[in-house]
Amino acid sequence: MKKDVDNMSVEELVAWAEEEARSPYLRSHPLKDRPLRKDFEGKVTFTRVWNHEDDFLYDYPFLTEDEVYKEDNVVPDKVAEKVVVDEVVEDRVVENDVVEDRVVENEVVDMVTDKVVVDEVVPDRVDDRLVDNVDDMHDDAQSDGNIDDVVLARSNVPRDTGLTIKENTNPPVSSDFDSESEDKNDRKIEQKQGNYEDDQDAEQTNDEDDNDRPEVVDAAGPTGLGPLVRQHEKYMEALVKQLKGNGVRIRDLFSIVQKPNKDDQYPIYDDQTHWTLKKPEGKVALVAGGDSGIGRSVCYHYAKEGATIAFTYVKGDEDIDAKDTLDIINESKMEGSVDPIAIPADLRYDKNCKNVVDEVIAKYGGIDVLVNLPAVQYYTYSYSLDEITEERLEKVFRTNIFSYFFLTKHALKHMKEGSNIINTTSVLAYNPDPPSWLDYTSTKGAIVSFTRGLALHLTEKKIRVNGVAPGPIWTPLQASVLNDEDIARFGSTVPMNRAGQPYEIAPSYVFLASEDSSYITGQVLHPNGIALKHLHVTAYDNTRISATILNKSKSSVGAKPDQQSFGLDNPPVMGKVALVAGGDSGIGRSVCYHYAKEGATIAFTYVKGDEDIDAKDTLDIINESKMEGSVDPIAIPADLRYDKNCKNVVDEVIAKYGGIDVLVNLPAVQYYTYSYSLDEITEERLEKVFRTNIFSYFFLTKHALKHMKEGSNIINTTSVLAYNPDPPSWLDYTSTKGAIVSFTRGLALHLTEKKIRVNGVAPGPIWTPLQASVLNDEDIARFGSTVPMNRAGQPYEIAPSYVFLASEDSSYITGQVLHPNGGVMVNG
């Protein structure tokens, strides 16, 4: 449950902050080199620390301004013996109240694990990196504000170097502390030579009276991460007092304690700023064509999620629809949300689009989400191009694509980093038929290319651009252009033999407007053909939802959806049993975490012996994150390369939970070699890669399907390398990923009658232990630099795609692959 930290007492806040800081939400890999240090308006810094004792990342806040400590009963400025110079933290040692720069002049190990012992502090090992010329390295780092040069310096020093940190636990002078221990201020760092064994005779600088005092370790973490500061109540009291005095909400402070940096070079499994699948709360959304159809449903869903809505409509033709949509938004919006506005406009012309944007800016001050939906379509019963007149051609293109250019051009002047543009194309852009619709289908193809090109253009501005390509959907457009015969068979050609509803499409727009799709740009989602029961049920009895229930159409032929299907009040995977194959680390761990947060029951597999510690960590994360009252998770050791083992896994899940609602296939093994020759791929390696990466998918799916009911989901993990396979020495790995794409599509078609959906996720470059194990230092340094976003993604940016595909928000999506890949263009 989320905490109302603004209303906590200092004691409650201290206890909660301590608990949060120690929670194992994040876990690092020893080869990953970047710390998280966030400066909150110059008042507090968050330092991520890696404790090898339990192998978890911790984020600790510590104050940065001396003035903070000048008040009574406040810990003075010697809490942490660290000096921040141009964002570079240097190690300092206090001896007789004199700060000296270094203890070891020419041999300082730059990565020491943070292990706290009250009476004796001895790090359990040191990374294999040694800085030979400390002065030069630190001078360089100070000059350019970058510590990476220090971090990346290497030598062959063994891990257990015996670098001993002796803790100065003498508290700073304060009326609440025993000042007699002031003369014990003798923190020492000793570097032993020879066999690098730990110094068992290390001097003890604490005594029993010091147990109450704040413990400070002035040792760099595995990457020079900074101090580990266990908060004392007085220290936290100072923190709270100072921040509140500066008008900082305590909720804001602690909401970013665990906030990851997307550039961090180690796996991050959760972004604590993400609470549920959807988060457009507080955003201003301009929905062009929001009066009816999919647009109305987008407005409704955005309003339910806390966004401020402006939408356009055609004056005269759509006045009643616009009024109905305003009523729906006002009834649905969050308490305290800003009122929506409806703007009449003919968007075929540049000037009108500028006026729309100007009105939104005058009303709300900015635009965070632009949704382009305008479309006009002429249906004729001739299959001749002669039906398409010049007048019709201009009207269709002006409405369907010119308006997108005009609105985007003017809106971009007011859109900041983190904004989103979502364009609406169609399945007909990929399967254009019949010829008499070529004007309409051509505009939809134009929108696909417009989306991709614009996404590449805006990556530097960190504005994401994506599209949605619906299949056959019940909207007033169909009612106005189709005859009774075509209405009767509308949607019958898709695998599930029915048309979709606007409420099944709108969640795709919510997903793309949220940070849950933060590593997706230039892509198109394809909700185009499946039918499932509705999980998110809330009463909504407004009978004027003409865009959704088609009550104005004389030929609705019973296609009206259940009016109770509106709403997003339940977590998206609440109550589902999920089997996550390969859930112990990387993307799999983040999927387990997100599923647990959303109410699912989790079983995951791991490789016994190799991944025991990872499995234990993931169990801890799930148990800390799962909803109150949720069933405990289980971790199942298994070698999934063999059919019998996969059957045993499924049998164990069924014995424990009675069924499987979601099967997530993630197992993968990859060999990285520096030769570009196929000779690297031996028969033994080939069999291991294919057995792990694709045979396991067949085996698990075969056995799980015996226990999966209507409404279940299978999610397979492929890769961007299935579409862009390189280099040749990876051909075994990339070939398995291509096999997974075809497996996903074929299985989806096979299971449509059973109403089980099958989809895939094709991540781009993502920081996981797999990369750390197969890449060399040079490749790690440039990992992710070739994608348009110019960075690798994090597991927490990928996991929401698995939540989306396991939920009813993707109920009309099957046989598709999502592409969280940093902007690489792959789908057709």
Catalytic residue set: 733
Question: What b/e string do you get for 73-82 counting C-beta neighbours within 10 Å, with b at 16 or more?
Answer: ebbebbbbbb
Q: 261: how many CB neighbours lie within 10 A of its CB?
A: 15
Alpha helices in 680-754 (DSSP H): 683-690, 696-704, 731-751
DSSP 367-436: -SEEEE--------S---GGG--HHHHHHHHIIIIIHHHHHHHHHGGG--TT-EEEEE--GGGTS---GG
| Cα Dmax for the chain | 98
Alpha helices in 514-634 (DSSP H): 546-549, 586-597, 612-625
Joined together, the tokens standing for residue 249 give 């909400």
8 A C-beta contact, residue 798 and residue 766: yes
Q: 284: how many CB neighbours lie within 10 A of its CB?
A: 24
Q: 791: how many CB neighbours lie within 10 A of its CB?
A: 19
Q: Which residues contact 40 (CB under 8 A, 6 or more apart)?
A: 46, 243, 248, 252, 253, 256
Q: Which sign, positive or negative, has the C-alpha torsion 815, 818, 824, 828?
A: positive
8 A C-beta contact, residue 671 and residue 774: yes
**Which one, of 823, 805, 824, lies nearest residue 815 by Cα?**
805
How far out from the chain centre does Cα 399 lie? Answer: 35
Report the C-alpha gap between 692 and 755 in whole angstroms: 28
Report the C-alpha gap between 28 and 31 in whole angstroms: 9
Joined together, the tokens standing for residue 563 give 């009016």
Residue with tokens 């991944």: 611
Report the C-alpha gap between 518 and 463 in whole angstroms: 10
Phi, psi of 694 (to 5 degrees): -135, -40
Residue with tokens 């949220």: 514
**Which one, of 218, 19, 255, lies nearest residue 123 by Cα?**
218
* First vs last C-alpha separation in the chain: 42
Report the C-alpha gap between 454 and 613 in whole angstroms: 44
Report the C-alpha gap between 148 and 580 in whole angstroms: 36
| β-bridge mates for residue 601, sequence order | 577
| β-bridge mates for residue 100, sequence order | 93
Residue type, 60: Y
| β-bridge mates for residue 500, sequence order | 473
8 A C-beta contact, residue 531 and residue 498: yes
Residue type, 780: I
Joined together, the tokens standing for residue 810 give 């993707």
Question: What's the half-sphere exposure (Cβ side, CA atoms, 13 Å) at 521?
Answer: 28
**Which one, of 165, 188, 169, 179, lies nearest residue 230 by Cα?**
169
Phi, psi of 118 (to 5 degrees): -60, -45
| β-bridge mates for residue 761, sequence order | 717, 818
**Which one, of 704, 718, 713, 698, lies nearest residue 643 by Cα?**
698
8 A C-beta contact, residue 368 and residue 415: yes
